[in-house]
Amino acid sequence: MSQPCNFLRRNVLRGIGASVALPMLSTLTPARSRAEQAATTCFTDATELAERVRNRELSPVELMRVHLDRVEAINPKLNAIVTLADGCLERARQAEKAVMRGELLGPLHGIPFTIKDVFDTRGVRTTRGSRIFKNRVPDQDATLVKRLKKAGGILLGKTNLPEFALSAETTNELFGRTVNPWNPDRTCGGSTGGEAAAIAAGLSPLGVGSDLGGSNRLPAHYCGIVGLKPTHGRIPLTGHWPELLARFMHAGPLARSVRDVALASSVMSGSDDQDPYAFRATVPEMTNLQAPLPRLRVGWFAEGPFAPVEKSIRETVAQAASALQELGCRVDPVSLPDWEDYLPIDVCYHLLAGEGTQYLEPYLAGHDDQLSSSIAGLMQLPKPSLKQFVNACDRCEQLRKDLAEFFARFDLLLCPTAPLVAHSHDAEALLIEGQEVSPSHAATITASFGLTGSPAISIPFGFSDDGLPIGVQLVAHRYDEATLLHAASALERVYQPEFRHPLL
Protein backbone atom coordinates (compact mmCIF):
# COMPACT_ATOMS: atom_id res chain seq x y z
CA MET A 1 0.00 0.00 0.00
CA SER A 2 0.97 3.65 0.00
CA GLN A 3 0.32 6.74 2.00
CA PRO A 4 -0.49 10.39 1.42
CA CYS A 5 2.57 12.58 1.44
CA ASN A 6 1.48 14.51 4.52
CA PHE A 7 2.32 11.40 6.60
CA LEU A 8 5.85 11.73 5.34
CA ARG A 9 9.03 10.16 6.59
CA ARG A 10 8.04 9.17 10.13
CA ASN A 11 5.71 6.48 8.78
CA VAL A 12 8.16 5.31 6.15
CA LEU A 13 10.83 4.86 8.82
CA ARG A 14 8.60 2.93 11.20
CA GLY A 15 10.00 -0.48 11.98
CA ILE A 16 13.19 -0.02 9.96
CA GLY A 17 16.49 -0.65 11.70
CA ALA A 18 19.13 2.05 11.72
CA SER A 19 22.30 0.05 11.05
CA VAL A 20 24.01 0.79 7.76
CA ALA A 21 27.06 -1.09 6.53
CA LEU A 22 28.15 1.28 3.76
CA PRO A 23 29.56 4.79 4.15
CA MET A 24 26.99 7.38 5.12
CA LEU A 25 26.89 10.97 6.27
CA SER A 26 28.80 10.58 9.49
CA THR A 27 27.14 11.42 12.76
CA LEU A 28 30.53 12.76 13.85
CA THR A 29 30.41 15.43 11.14
CA PRO A 30 29.22 18.88 12.30
CA ALA A 31 25.52 19.46 11.66
CA ARG A 32 26.07 22.20 9.07
CA SER A 33 28.56 20.06 7.19
CA ARG A 34 26.13 17.12 7.19
CA ALA A 35 23.40 19.39 5.85
CA GLU A 36 25.71 20.61 3.08
CA GLN A 37 26.66 17.02 2.22
CA ALA A 38 23.01 16.03 2.10
CA ALA A 39 22.16 18.97 -0.17
CA THR A 40 25.03 18.03 -2.47
CA THR A 41 23.79 14.45 -2.62
CA CYS A 42 20.27 15.58 -3.48
CA PHE A 43 21.56 17.56 -6.46
CA THR A 44 23.93 14.87 -7.73
CA ASP A 45 22.69 13.20 -10.88
CA ALA A 46 21.43 9.61 -10.88
CA THR A 47 24.32 8.30 -12.98
CA GLU A 48 26.93 9.43 -10.46
CA LEU A 49 24.83 8.27 -7.51
CA ALA A 50 24.53 4.80 -9.06
CA GLU A 51 28.28 4.67 -9.63
CA ARG A 52 28.94 5.62 -6.01
CA VAL A 53 26.55 2.93 -4.82
CA ARG A 54 28.29 0.31 -7.00
CA ASN A 55 31.69 1.40 -5.69
CA ARG A 56 30.45 1.12 -2.08
CA GLU A 57 31.01 4.83 -1.56
CA LEU A 58 27.35 5.55 -0.79
CA SER A 59 24.74 3.56 1.08
CA PRO A 60 21.38 3.08 -0.68
CA VAL A 61 19.78 3.43 2.76
CA GLU A 62 21.43 6.76 3.43
CA LEU A 63 20.62 7.90 -0.09
CA MET A 64 16.94 7.16 0.46
CA ARG A 65 16.98 8.81 3.89
CA VAL A 66 18.54 11.96 2.51
CA HIS A 67 15.79 12.22 -0.10
CA LEU A 68 13.04 11.46 2.40
CA ASP A 69 14.42 14.18 4.67
CA ARG A 70 14.40 16.64 1.80
CA VAL A 71 10.85 15.70 0.82
CA GLU A 72 9.76 16.31 4.40
CA ALA A 73 11.49 19.70 4.52
CA ILE A 74 10.81 21.05 1.02
CA ASN A 75 7.73 19.34 -0.41
CA PRO A 76 5.24 21.33 1.73
CA LYS A 77 6.47 24.44 -0.10
CA LEU A 78 5.93 22.91 -3.54
CA ASN A 79 3.31 20.16 -3.32
CA ALA A 80 5.22 18.17 -5.95
CA ILE A 81 5.11 14.67 -4.43
CA VAL A 82 1.60 13.59 -3.50
CA THR A 83 2.12 9.98 -2.33
CA LEU A 84 5.13 8.26 -0.80
CA ALA A 85 5.74 4.58 -1.52
CA ASP A 86 5.51 2.46 1.60
CA GLY A 87 8.56 0.31 2.16
CA CYS A 88 10.95 2.41 0.07
CA LEU A 89 13.48 2.49 2.90
CA GLU A 90 13.24 -1.26 3.44
CA ARG A 91 13.83 -1.79 -0.28
CA ALA A 92 16.89 0.46 0.02
CA ARG A 93 18.07 -1.77 2.85
CA GLN A 94 17.70 -4.83 0.63
CA ALA A 95 19.59 -2.99 -2.14
CA GLU A 96 22.42 -2.36 0.29
CA LYS A 97 22.60 -6.03 1.25
CA ALA A 98 22.88 -6.93 -2.43
CA VAL A 99 25.85 -4.58 -2.75
CA MET A 100 27.54 -6.12 0.27
CA ARG A 101 26.98 -9.62 -1.08
CA GLY A 102 28.72 -8.68 -4.31
CA GLU A 103 25.69 -9.39 -6.48
CA LEU A 104 25.43 -8.25 -10.09
CA LEU A 105 23.84 -4.80 -9.87
CA GLY A 106 21.52 -3.05 -12.33
CA PRO A 107 22.42 0.35 -13.80
CA LEU A 108 20.07 2.14 -11.37
CA HIS A 109 20.75 -0.02 -8.31
CA GLY A 110 19.65 1.77 -5.16
CA ILE A 111 18.54 4.96 -6.92
CA PRO A 112 15.27 6.59 -5.79
CA PHE A 113 12.89 7.57 -8.58
CA THR A 114 9.48 9.20 -8.81
CA ILE A 115 6.62 8.62 -11.24
CA LYS A 116 3.90 10.90 -12.56
CA ASP A 117 0.65 9.82 -10.92
CA VAL A 118 -0.83 8.74 -14.25
CA PHE A 119 1.28 5.55 -14.43
CA ASP A 120 0.21 2.48 -12.47
CA THR A 121 2.38 1.47 -9.52
CA ARG A 122 1.69 -1.83 -7.82
CA GLY A 123 0.46 -1.36 -4.26
CA VAL A 124 0.91 2.43 -4.44
CA ARG A 125 -2.07 4.73 -4.85
CA THR A 126 -2.45 5.98 -8.43
CA THR A 127 -5.12 8.66 -8.63
CA ARG A 128 -4.64 10.16 -12.12
CA GLY A 129 -5.07 13.49 -10.35
CA SER A 130 -8.80 12.87 -9.95
CA ARG A 131 -11.22 12.59 -7.05
CA ILE A 132 -12.92 9.85 -9.04
CA PHE A 133 -9.86 7.62 -8.56
CA LYS A 134 -8.66 8.94 -5.20
CA ASN A 135 -8.55 5.50 -3.57
CA ARG A 136 -7.35 3.50 -6.56
CA VAL A 137 -4.44 1.15 -5.82
CA PRO A 138 -3.27 -0.89 -8.86
CA ASP A 139 -2.18 -4.51 -8.54
CA GLN A 140 0.32 -4.21 -11.42
CA ASP A 141 3.13 -1.84 -12.34
CA ALA A 142 3.19 -0.01 -15.64
CA THR A 143 5.75 -1.58 -17.95
CA LEU A 144 8.22 1.26 -17.55
CA VAL A 145 7.96 1.08 -13.75
CA LYS A 146 8.72 -2.65 -13.88
CA ARG A 147 11.78 -1.93 -15.98
CA LEU A 148 13.08 0.80 -13.70
CA LYS A 149 12.71 -1.54 -10.74
CA LYS A 150 14.41 -4.37 -12.61
CA ALA A 151 17.32 -2.00 -13.24
CA GLY A 152 17.61 -1.54 -9.47
CA GLY A 153 15.65 1.68 -9.06
CA ILE A 154 13.52 2.17 -5.94
CA LEU A 155 10.16 3.93 -6.19
CA LEU A 156 10.14 6.90 -3.83
CA GLY A 157 6.71 8.31 -4.65
CA LYS A 158 4.15 9.67 -7.08
CA THR A 159 4.06 13.23 -8.36
CA ASN A 160 1.26 15.68 -8.98
CA LEU A 161 -0.46 16.41 -12.29
CA PRO A 162 -3.61 18.04 -13.60
CA GLU A 163 -6.63 15.75 -13.70
CA PHE A 164 -6.04 12.99 -16.29
CA ALA A 165 -2.85 14.82 -17.40
CA LEU A 166 -4.94 17.01 -19.71
CA SER A 167 -3.97 20.54 -18.78
CA ALA A 168 -0.88 22.75 -18.91
CA GLU A 169 -1.27 23.80 -15.24
CA THR A 170 -0.47 21.27 -12.50
CA THR A 171 -3.42 21.58 -10.15
CA ASN A 172 -6.41 19.39 -9.33
CA GLU A 173 -9.28 19.05 -6.89
CA LEU A 174 -7.63 16.18 -5.01
CA PHE A 175 -4.17 17.52 -4.14
CA GLY A 176 -4.21 21.18 -5.11
CA ARG A 177 -1.54 23.14 -6.93
CA THR A 178 2.15 22.44 -7.50
CA VAL A 179 4.29 25.58 -7.70
CA ASN A 180 7.51 26.39 -9.49
CA PRO A 181 10.56 25.99 -7.21
CA TRP A 182 12.15 29.09 -8.76
CA ASN A 183 9.15 31.29 -7.99
CA PRO A 184 5.99 29.99 -6.27
CA ASP A 185 3.91 32.61 -8.07
CA ARG A 186 4.78 31.03 -11.42
CA THR A 187 3.58 27.84 -13.05
CA CYS A 188 5.67 24.68 -13.12
CA GLY A 189 3.78 23.73 -16.27
CA GLY A 190 1.90 20.58 -17.03
CA SER A 191 1.02 17.99 -17.21
CA THR A 192 4.27 16.58 -15.77
CA GLY A 193 4.67 19.59 -13.48
CA GLY A 194 5.00 17.65 -10.24
CA GLU A 195 7.91 15.63 -11.63
CA ALA A 196 9.74 18.67 -12.95
CA ALA A 197 9.31 20.59 -9.69
CA ALA A 198 10.44 17.61 -7.59
CA ILE A 199 13.59 17.00 -9.65
CA ALA A 200 14.51 20.69 -9.87
CA ALA A 201 14.17 20.98 -6.07
CA GLY A 202 16.30 17.92 -5.31
CA LEU A 203 13.43 15.78 -4.02
CA SER A 204 14.14 13.09 -6.61
CA PRO A 205 17.06 12.44 -8.97
CA LEU A 206 15.01 10.82 -11.71
CA GLY A 207 11.40 10.72 -12.87
CA VAL A 208 9.09 9.71 -15.69
CA GLY A 209 6.23 11.56 -17.33
CA SER A 210 4.07 11.45 -20.45
CA ASP A 211 4.11 13.94 -23.31
CA LEU A 212 2.01 14.86 -26.34
CA GLY A 213 1.67 18.62 -26.46
CA GLY A 214 4.81 19.22 -24.41
CA SER A 215 3.96 17.75 -21.01
CA ASN A 216 7.56 16.71 -20.27
CA ARG A 217 9.42 19.41 -22.16
CA LEU A 218 7.43 22.47 -21.02
CA PRO A 219 7.76 21.73 -17.27
CA ALA A 220 11.46 20.92 -17.83
CA HIS A 221 11.89 24.34 -19.48
CA TYR A 222 9.96 26.15 -16.75
CA CYS A 223 11.82 24.39 -13.92
CA GLY A 224 15.34 24.27 -15.37
CA ILE A 225 15.87 20.53 -15.86
CA VAL A 226 16.18 18.06 -18.75
CA GLY A 227 13.01 16.60 -20.25
CA LEU A 228 13.02 14.00 -23.04
CA LYS A 229 10.24 12.92 -25.38
CA PRO A 230 11.64 9.89 -27.23
CA THR A 231 10.44 8.69 -30.62
CA HIS A 232 6.80 7.65 -30.44
CA GLY A 233 6.65 3.97 -29.47
CA ARG A 234 10.17 3.87 -28.05
CA ILE A 235 8.90 3.36 -24.48
CA PRO A 236 5.69 1.35 -23.95
CA LEU A 237 2.70 3.15 -22.46
CA THR A 238 1.17 0.02 -20.93
CA GLY A 239 -0.17 1.06 -17.53
CA HIS A 240 -0.68 4.72 -18.51
CA TRP A 241 -4.16 6.25 -18.47
CA PRO A 242 -6.08 7.77 -20.19
CA GLU A 243 -5.38 5.84 -23.35
CA LEU A 244 -6.80 8.50 -25.64
CA LEU A 245 -4.77 9.69 -28.64
CA ALA A 246 -2.34 6.83 -28.00
CA ARG A 247 -0.96 7.19 -31.52
CA PHE A 248 0.52 10.53 -30.40
CA MET A 249 1.25 9.94 -26.71
CA HIS A 250 4.80 9.37 -25.45
CA ALA A 251 6.46 8.33 -22.20
CA GLY A 252 9.85 9.77 -21.31
CA PRO A 253 12.28 10.55 -18.49
CA LEU A 254 13.10 13.78 -16.69
CA ALA A 255 16.32 14.40 -14.77
CA ARG A 256 19.02 16.95 -14.04
CA SER A 257 21.44 15.68 -16.70
CA VAL A 258 21.32 14.44 -20.28
CA ARG A 259 23.20 11.27 -19.37
CA ASP A 260 20.49 10.45 -16.83
CA VAL A 261 17.67 10.64 -19.36
CA ALA A 262 19.81 8.61 -21.78
CA LEU A 263 20.34 5.94 -19.14
CA ALA A 264 16.66 5.84 -18.14
CA SER A 265 15.58 5.63 -21.79
CA SER A 266 17.86 2.67 -22.43
CA VAL A 267 16.33 0.91 -19.41
CA MET A 268 12.68 1.60 -20.31
CA SER A 269 12.65 1.19 -24.09
CA GLY A 270 11.59 -1.72 -26.26
CA SER A 271 8.34 -3.54 -26.98
CA ASP A 272 6.45 -5.23 -24.16
CA ASP A 273 4.10 -7.10 -26.55
CA GLN A 274 1.16 -5.17 -25.08
CA ASP A 275 1.42 -1.60 -26.36
CA PRO A 276 0.58 -1.89 -30.08
CA TYR A 277 2.69 1.20 -30.90
CA ALA A 278 5.83 0.09 -29.05
CA PHE A 279 8.60 -1.18 -31.31
CA ARG A 280 11.34 -3.63 -30.45
CA ALA A 281 14.42 -1.49 -31.03
CA THR A 282 15.79 -0.10 -27.78
CA VAL A 283 17.81 3.05 -27.18
CA PRO A 284 21.46 1.97 -27.19
CA GLU A 285 23.37 2.65 -24.00
CA MET A 286 24.99 6.04 -24.51
CA THR A 287 28.52 5.37 -23.36
CA ASN A 288 30.08 7.97 -25.67
CA LEU A 289 28.20 11.14 -24.78
CA GLN A 290 31.52 12.82 -23.96
CA ALA A 291 32.96 12.15 -27.43
CA PRO A 292 33.45 15.13 -29.75
CA LEU A 293 30.45 15.90 -31.92
CA PRO A 294 30.71 14.97 -35.59
CA ARG A 295 30.08 17.77 -38.07
CA LEU A 296 26.31 17.68 -37.71
CA ARG A 297 24.01 19.68 -39.96
CA VAL A 298 21.82 21.82 -37.69
CA GLY A 299 18.89 23.94 -38.81
CA TRP A 300 17.63 26.47 -36.28
CA PHE A 301 15.09 29.17 -35.69
CA ALA A 302 14.48 31.44 -32.71
CA GLU A 303 10.86 32.20 -33.58
CA GLY A 304 9.86 30.70 -36.92
CA PRO A 305 6.11 30.31 -37.41
CA PHE A 306 5.51 30.50 -33.65
CA ALA A 307 5.64 34.27 -33.04
CA PRO A 308 5.60 35.95 -30.64
CA VAL A 309 8.59 34.60 -28.67
CA GLU A 310 10.17 36.49 -25.79
CA LYS A 311 13.41 38.28 -26.60
CA SER A 312 15.36 36.49 -23.84
CA ILE A 313 14.38 33.13 -25.31
CA ARG A 314 15.27 34.15 -28.87
CA GLU A 315 18.67 35.30 -27.62
CA THR A 316 19.22 32.06 -25.69
CA VAL A 317 18.45 29.93 -28.76
CA ALA A 318 20.87 32.05 -30.79
CA GLN A 319 23.55 31.44 -28.16
CA ALA A 320 22.92 27.69 -28.39
CA ALA A 321 23.24 27.90 -32.19
CA SER A 322 26.58 29.69 -31.80
CA ALA A 323 27.73 27.06 -29.32
CA LEU A 324 26.93 24.24 -31.73
CA GLN A 325 28.81 26.07 -34.48
CA GLU A 326 31.84 26.42 -32.20
CA LEU A 327 31.58 22.68 -31.53
CA GLY A 328 32.10 22.05 -35.24
CA CYS A 329 28.53 21.73 -36.49
CA ARG A 330 27.26 23.34 -39.66
CA VAL A 331 24.49 25.64 -38.39
CA ASP A 332 22.00 27.33 -40.73
CA PRO A 333 18.86 29.40 -40.06
CA VAL A 334 15.67 27.77 -41.36
CA SER A 335 11.98 28.55 -41.59
CA LEU A 336 8.78 26.53 -41.63
CA PRO A 337 6.54 28.98 -43.48
CA ASP A 338 3.64 26.67 -44.30
CA TRP A 339 3.06 25.91 -40.61
CA GLU A 340 1.70 29.38 -39.87
CA ASP A 341 -1.56 28.72 -41.71
CA TYR A 342 -2.66 25.83 -39.46
CA LEU A 343 -0.49 25.63 -36.35
CA PRO A 344 0.06 22.24 -34.71
CA ILE A 345 -1.44 23.48 -31.44
CA ASP A 346 -4.71 24.06 -33.30
CA VAL A 347 -4.51 20.53 -34.68
CA CYS A 348 -4.19 19.29 -31.09
CA TYR A 349 -7.28 21.25 -30.14
CA HIS A 350 -9.42 19.63 -32.84
CA LEU A 351 -8.14 16.13 -32.02
CA LEU A 352 -8.65 16.53 -28.28
CA ALA A 353 -12.06 18.15 -28.61
CA GLY A 354 -13.13 15.36 -30.93
CA GLU A 355 -11.52 12.15 -29.71
CA GLY A 356 -10.68 13.15 -26.16
CA THR A 357 -14.15 14.08 -25.03
CA GLN A 358 -15.66 11.04 -26.73
CA TYR A 359 -13.20 8.76 -24.93
CA LEU A 360 -13.75 10.30 -21.48
CA GLU A 361 -17.56 10.49 -21.49
CA PRO A 362 -18.26 6.96 -20.13
CA TYR A 363 -15.66 7.36 -17.36
CA LEU A 364 -17.06 10.70 -16.22
CA ALA A 365 -20.76 9.85 -16.30
CA GLY A 366 -22.32 10.60 -12.91
CA HIS A 367 -19.21 12.35 -11.59
CA ASP A 368 -19.85 15.94 -12.66
CA ASP A 369 -19.48 17.22 -9.10
CA GLN A 370 -16.01 15.65 -8.77
CA LEU A 371 -14.37 17.09 -11.87
CA SER A 372 -11.71 19.76 -11.97
CA SER A 373 -12.44 22.95 -13.85
CA SER A 374 -9.99 21.95 -16.59
CA ILE A 375 -11.77 18.67 -17.35
CA ALA A 376 -15.22 20.23 -17.01
CA GLY A 377 -14.10 22.87 -19.51
CA LEU A 378 -12.68 20.26 -21.86
CA MET A 379 -15.96 18.35 -21.89
CA GLN A 380 -17.82 21.52 -22.81
CA LEU A 381 -15.67 22.32 -25.83
CA PRO A 382 -17.60 22.44 -29.09
CA LYS A 383 -17.02 19.28 -31.09
CA PRO A 384 -15.17 19.79 -34.37
CA SER A 385 -17.11 19.06 -37.52
CA LEU A 386 -16.21 15.94 -39.48
CA LYS A 387 -14.44 18.16 -42.00
CA GLN A 388 -12.41 19.86 -39.26
CA PHE A 389 -11.47 16.53 -37.73
CA VAL A 390 -10.39 15.01 -41.04
CA ASN A 391 -8.42 18.17 -41.83
CA ALA A 392 -6.64 17.83 -38.47
CA CYS A 393 -5.71 14.21 -39.26
CA ASP A 394 -4.50 15.23 -42.71
CA ARG A 395 -2.47 18.05 -41.19
CA CYS A 396 -0.68 15.56 -38.92
CA GLU A 397 0.39 13.60 -41.95
CA GLN A 398 1.63 16.75 -43.65
CA LEU A 399 3.64 17.75 -40.58
CA ARG A 400 5.36 14.37 -40.65
CA LYS A 401 6.15 14.76 -44.35
CA ASP A 402 7.53 18.24 -43.73
CA LEU A 403 9.90 16.96 -41.06
CA ALA A 404 10.94 13.97 -43.16
CA GLU A 405 11.99 16.42 -45.88
CA PHE A 406 13.72 18.62 -43.29
CA PHE A 407 15.74 15.73 -41.88
CA ALA A 408 16.79 14.69 -45.35
CA ARG A 409 18.85 17.90 -45.30
CA PHE A 410 19.64 18.28 -41.58
CA ASP A 411 20.59 16.07 -38.63
CA LEU A 412 19.01 18.26 -35.98
CA LEU A 413 16.57 21.11 -35.47
CA LEU A 414 17.31 23.66 -32.74
CA CYS A 415 14.47 25.90 -31.57
CA PRO A 416 12.86 27.29 -28.41
CA THR A 417 11.12 24.89 -26.07
CA ALA A 418 8.46 27.52 -25.38
CA PRO A 419 7.79 31.12 -26.41
CA LEU A 420 8.02 32.43 -22.84
CA VAL A 421 9.42 31.64 -19.40
CA ALA A 422 7.21 30.36 -16.57
CA HIS A 423 4.14 32.58 -16.40
CA SER A 424 1.68 33.25 -13.60
CA HIS A 425 -0.75 30.55 -12.49
CA ASP A 426 -4.03 30.12 -14.36
CA ALA A 427 -3.26 32.94 -16.77
CA GLU A 428 -6.28 33.75 -18.93
CA ALA A 429 -4.01 35.43 -21.50
CA LEU A 430 -0.26 35.68 -22.05
CA LEU A 431 1.51 38.93 -22.85
CA ILE A 432 4.61 38.35 -25.00
CA GLU A 433 6.57 41.26 -26.44
CA GLY A 434 3.54 43.50 -26.09
CA GLN A 435 1.21 41.07 -27.86
CA GLU A 436 -1.63 39.29 -26.04
CA VAL A 437 -2.05 35.64 -26.97
CA SER A 438 -4.02 32.63 -25.76
CA PRO A 439 -2.54 30.49 -22.94
CA SER A 440 -2.37 27.62 -25.45
CA HIS A 441 0.39 29.56 -27.22
CA ALA A 442 2.78 28.33 -24.50
CA ALA A 443 2.63 24.84 -26.06
CA THR A 444 2.63 25.92 -29.68
CA ILE A 445 6.20 24.75 -30.36
CA THR A 446 6.32 21.56 -28.30
CA ALA A 447 2.97 20.33 -29.68
CA SER A 448 4.46 20.20 -33.17
CA PHE A 449 6.86 17.40 -32.37
CA GLY A 450 4.36 15.46 -30.29
CA LEU A 451 2.18 15.14 -33.37
CA THR A 452 5.09 14.07 -35.58
CA GLY A 453 6.43 11.52 -33.09
CA SER A 454 9.94 12.96 -33.41
CA PRO A 455 12.40 12.59 -30.54
CA ALA A 456 12.82 15.96 -28.81
CA ILE A 457 14.59 17.17 -25.71
CA SER A 458 14.55 20.35 -23.64
CA ILE A 459 17.76 21.25 -21.84
CA PRO A 460 18.44 24.29 -19.62
CA PHE A 461 20.59 26.89 -21.34
CA GLY A 462 19.99 30.21 -19.62
CA PHE A 463 17.95 32.44 -17.32
CA SER A 464 15.69 35.41 -17.84
CA ASP A 465 16.41 38.78 -16.24
CA ASP A 466 14.02 37.88 -13.41
CA GLY A 467 15.84 34.63 -12.66
CA LEU A 468 13.61 32.08 -14.38
CA PRO A 469 15.08 29.15 -16.33
CA ILE A 470 15.17 29.06 -20.11
CA GLY A 471 15.40 25.78 -22.01
CA VAL A 472 16.26 25.17 -25.64
CA GLN A 473 14.80 22.33 -27.65
CA LEU A 474 16.59 19.91 -29.95
CA VAL A 475 14.64 17.68 -32.34
CA ALA A 476 15.98 14.75 -34.38
CA HIS A 477 14.75 12.37 -37.05
CA ARG A 478 12.53 9.57 -35.80
CA TYR A 479 14.55 6.79 -34.12
CA ASP A 480 17.72 8.92 -33.94
CA GLU A 481 17.92 9.48 -30.19
CA ALA A 482 21.66 8.77 -30.41
CA THR A 483 22.36 11.99 -32.32
CA LEU A 484 19.84 13.94 -30.25
CA LEU A 485 21.35 12.93 -26.90
CA HIS A 486 24.93 13.36 -28.09
CA ALA A 487 24.27 16.95 -29.20
CA ALA A 488 22.25 17.73 -26.08
CA SER A 489 25.10 16.49 -23.91
CA ALA A 490 27.57 18.67 -25.79
CA LEU A 491 25.38 21.75 -25.27
CA GLU A 492 24.94 20.81 -21.63
CA ARG A 493 28.71 20.86 -21.12
CA VAL A 494 28.87 24.34 -22.65
CA TYR A 495 26.20 25.54 -20.23
CA GLN A 496 27.40 23.57 -17.18
CA PRO A 497 29.42 26.41 -15.54
CA GLU A 498 26.23 28.47 -15.40
CA PHE A 499 24.00 25.72 -14.01
CA ARG A 500 22.40 26.47 -10.65
CA HIS A 501 19.57 25.25 -8.47
CA PRO A 502 16.60 26.99 -6.86
CA LEU A 503 17.12 28.22 -3.32
CA LEU A 504 14.37 26.81 -1.11
Contact (Cβ atoms closer than 8 angstroms) between residue 494 and residue 435? no
The DSSP output letter for 70 is: H
Burial class of residue 184 (count of CB atoms within 10 Å of its CB; 0-12, 13-18, 19+) = middle
Q: Which helix (H) or strand (E) holds 313?
A: helix 311-326
Active-site annotation, residues: 116, 191, 215
Query: Of the candidates 489, 423, 486, 495, which has an alpha carbon nearest to the alpha carbon of residue 460?
Result: 495
Report the alpha-carbon distance of residue 222 to residue 197 in Å, rounded.
9
Long-range contact set of residues 439-442: C-beta below 8 Å, sequence gap at least 24: 439/168, 440/168, 440/345, 440/349, 441/345, 442/168, 442/189, 442/218, 442/418
Pairing state between β 297-300 and 330-333: parallel
Query: Of the candidates 241, 242, 289, 243, which has an alpha carbon nearest to the alpha carbon of residue 265?
Result: 289
Report the alpha-carbon distance of residue 69 to residue 326 in Å, rounded.
43
Report the alpha-carbon distance of residue 333 to residue 148 in Å, rounded.
39
Neighbours of 55 (CB within 10 A): 10
Report the alpha-carbon distance of residue 124 to residue 82 in Å, rounded.
11
- Percent of the chain as helix, strand, coil, to the nearest 5: 40, 15, 40
Report the alpha-carbon distance of residue 140 to residue 135 in Å, rounded.
15
- 3-class state of residue 363 by DSSP: helix
Neighbours of 342 (CB within 10 A): 16
Contacts of 475 (CB under 8 A, 6+ apart): 403, 412, 413, 414, 415, 449, 454, 455, 456, 484
Report the alpha-carbon distance of residue 176 to residue 4 in Å, rounded.
13
Q: Which helix (H) or strand (E) holds 492?
A: helix 481-495
HEC assignment per residue over 168-223: CCCEECCCEECCECCECCECCCCCCHHHHHHHHCCCCCEEEEEECCCCCHHHHHHH
